[in-house]
Amino acid sequence: MSASTPADSAAARAGRGDGESRSGGAGGGRDASDSLTPAMGSEAGDRAVLPSRHPELLTWAVMAISICQFIDATIANVALPHMQTSLDASIENVSWVLTSFIIASAIATPITGWLSDRIGSRILFLLSCGGFLLTSGLCGLATSLPAMVVFRIFQGVCAAFMGPMSQTIMYDINRPSRQPRAVAIWGVVVMIAPISGPFLGGLLTDQLNWRWVFFVNLPIGIPALALIWWLLPSRPIERRRLDLFGFGMLAVALGALQLLLDRGHGRDWLESREIMVEMCVAISCFWIFLIHSRQTAKPLFKGSLFHDSNFIASLVLMAALGLSNVGLSAMLPTMYQTVYGYGVMDTGMLMAPRGVGVVVTMILTNHLMKRLDYRYIAVFGFCVTAFSMWTMTRWSLDQSSREIIVSGFIQGLGLGFVFVPMNMIGFSRLSVENRMEGSAIMALARNLGASFGISVIVTMLARNIQVSHADLVGGITPFSLPGVDISAMAERLGTTGGAILGMVDGLVNRQAMMIAYLDNFTLMFWLLLALAPLPLIAKRPPRLGDAPDAPHMAME
């Protein structure tokens, strides 16, 4: 097996024929002897691993289908009350529409790399995208809760493969010099789609009905799927054995952990026997998985992945970024609507500046990475994001929307400076063969970080509201309000007095919620500030200008 020159690659493509590159034969027809080898020569050093006829068009097609996948994790949240009525379900049972998707996605994500090697990356991506669109349509047509949950499980499995594969495709079809730009485009989708999900879901539910929360994927996804079928090449097939015991242990651990995080707040955490059982199962199975992976000859994940300090550092920081970005995205819309009284449309507009900031800095980052050390850009990004959280700790009940817009825009700027450099650092030293599994583990870490973030923020918010409410009510006494005894006055006024007490309680609740949100902002400020120096732990990756020759697919 030898490295291909540009002429060799062109001849090989001509020998395969255009029809093969457009069909499943582009991946399925290769046998295990095909391999990844480094390109030779300066001209080949800036060539894509998987050259595509129209890489720009393919990039946008992959992004379009990814938008549907990433939005679907949050878009159904606001439609649950409408689903409950339509599907004749209880409040507790209808939550399985969300829980089933999350658990199925978490369990399926770890085998993305193995399945891609087994059947070919092209076939797997086409099947997962097609399955995702099919189950989206079925979810929109569901007439009962059991059917909806089954469809959401299959949709979650398909989404689990789409996320890491779309990231790997961005690296594989673009030249090394174009990879930061491609990752920036992909990052915009990853960062903005979860933020936009609740707003889009609320808008579709109000203007049409809850079924369009799922139907909206079809007009976007079907044309994108056609372009992907036409243009997407495939990685070679490697028929390696699946570590069934390791996967089983990890699947049970992830399923129990996601159940714990999703249901913990409603069950009062460790006060619940169910949560205790789920925690014990998650810890035990994960420990068994770790011990088994160290002892078996063919573990679920390739051991070389975890020998890369840059990948491990990026993994930790991406989990933290998922915690802060998605957790905050879940908290802010509720705050805008309950504390400040904004409607669905206004809430969406107030969330938009974060997305604008992300887009602006991801464009800037693409240029900065050609001149600066990626690590310093990421450190700066964490500092900017922490500063935005500090400005949010200064919010008040009577402020205008201007402060919200400015803080959101600054936060978007910081997140954009973090995401692309940390991805490039994480994948800078990974071999091409390890990219798919690396993307799957990165997606899993990001999703678990998001789940932890939402659980921690929701729990802290609820408890801080109770504590703040008790403190504020304790301060309303005849001594704090000279000449006014509210309780006695309410008794004398009868129904009117009860209404006055209700108004006072509403004001206290609003103040208590504001204090609880500010406490959460303060916690996240210190967390982000503590994380800021961590990118410096990674080894310095090469800048774009002095990147080594990129490996690419070689054909016999």
pLDDT of residue 546: 47
* pLDDT reading at 126 higher than 90: yes
Higher-confidence residue of 322 and 316: namely 316
39-75: b (≥16 Cβ within 10 Å) or e = beeeebbebbbbbbeebeebbebbbbbbbbbbbbbbb
Highest mean pLDDT among 350-364, 395-409, 444-458, 531-545: 395-409
Percent of the chain past pLDDT 90, that is, above it, reads: 13
| Residue 495 within a domain | no
* pLDDT reading at 555 higher than 60: no
Q: Are residues 197 and 291 in the same domain?
A: no
Could you read off the pLDDT of 301-316 as tens digits, one per residue? 877 777 888 888 888 8
- Select from 253, 277, 299 the last residue of a domain: 299
pLDDT of residue 186: 82
- Select from 261, 277, 299 the last residue of a domain: 299
| Residue 162 within a domain | yes
Could you read off the pLDDT of 417-452 as tens digits, one per residue? 888 888 888 887 777 778 888 888 888 888 888 788
* pLDDT reading at 193 higher than 80: no
Q: Are residues 270 and 365 in the same domain?
A: no
State the Cα–Cα distance between residues 126 and 25, nearest whole angstrom: 13
pLDDT of residue 357: 85
* pLDDT reading at 24 higher than 50: no
Total structural domains in the chain? 2
Q: Are residues 221 and 279 in the same domain?
A: no
- Select from 284, 299, 314 the last residue of a domain: 299
pLDDT category of residue 36 using cuts at 50, 70 and 90 = very low
Q: Are residues 427 and 541 in the same domain?
A: yes
Stretch 7-20: mean pLDDT: 39
Phi then psi dihedrals of residue 304, to 5 deg = -65, -20
Q: Are residues 323 and 210 in the same domain?
A: yes
| Residue 492 within a domain | no
Stretch 98-112: mean pLDDT: 87
Q: Are residues 237 and 283 in the same domain?
A: no
Stretch 447-469: mean pLDDT: 81
Which CATH number does the domain housing residue 195 bear?
1.20.1250.20
Q: Are residues 290 and 191 in the same domain?
A: no
pLDDT of residue 499: 63
Q: Are residues 107 and 22 in the same domain?
A: yes
pLDDT of residue 462: 81
DSSP 553: E
Q: Are residues 215 and 185 in the same domain?
A: yes
Stretch 334-358: mean pLDDT: 81
pTM of the model: 0.76
| Residue 329 within a domain | yes
H or E stretch including 554?
Answer: strand 551-554
Highest mean pLDDT among 85-94, 107-116, 293-302, 505-514: 107-116
Q: Are residues 249 and 238 in the same domain?
A: no
Count of beta carbons in the 10 Å neighbourhood of residue 334? 15
pLDDT category of residue 478 using cuts at 50, 70 and 90 = low
Stretch 245-258: mean pLDDT: 89
State the Cα–Cα distance between residues 177 and 185, nearest whole angstrom: 14
pLDDT of residue 486: 58
pLDDT category of residue 553 using cuts at 50, 70 and 90 = very low
State the Cα–Cα distance between residues 341 and 332, nearest whole angstrom: 12
* pLDDT reading at 17 higher than 60: no
* pLDDT reading at 212 higher than 60: yes
| Residue 407 within a domain | yes
Q: Are residues 202 and 281 in the same domain?
A: no
pLDDT category of residue 1 using cuts at 50, 70 and 90 = very low
Higher-confidence residue of 92 and 335: namely 335
Query: What string of DSSP letters covers 97-124?
Result: HHHHHHHHHHHHGGGHHHHHHHH-HHHH
Could you read off the pLDDT of 360-407 as tens digits, one per residue? 887 787 778 778 888 888 899 889 999 999 999 999 888 888 888 999
Q: Are residues 347 and 248 in the same domain?
A: no
Phi then psi dihedrals of residue 528, to 5 deg = -65, -35
Domain that holds residue 158: 6-242+300-463+524-554
| Residue 472 within a domain | no
| Residue 490 within a domain | no
The contacts found for 113-117 with CB under 8 angstroms, 24 or more apart, are: 113/164, 113/301, 113/302, 113/436, 113/437, 113/440, 114/240, 114/242, 114/300, 114/437, 115/161, 116/165, 116/235, 116/436, 117/235, 117/237, 117/238, 117/239, 117/240, 117/436
| Residue 309 within a domain | yes
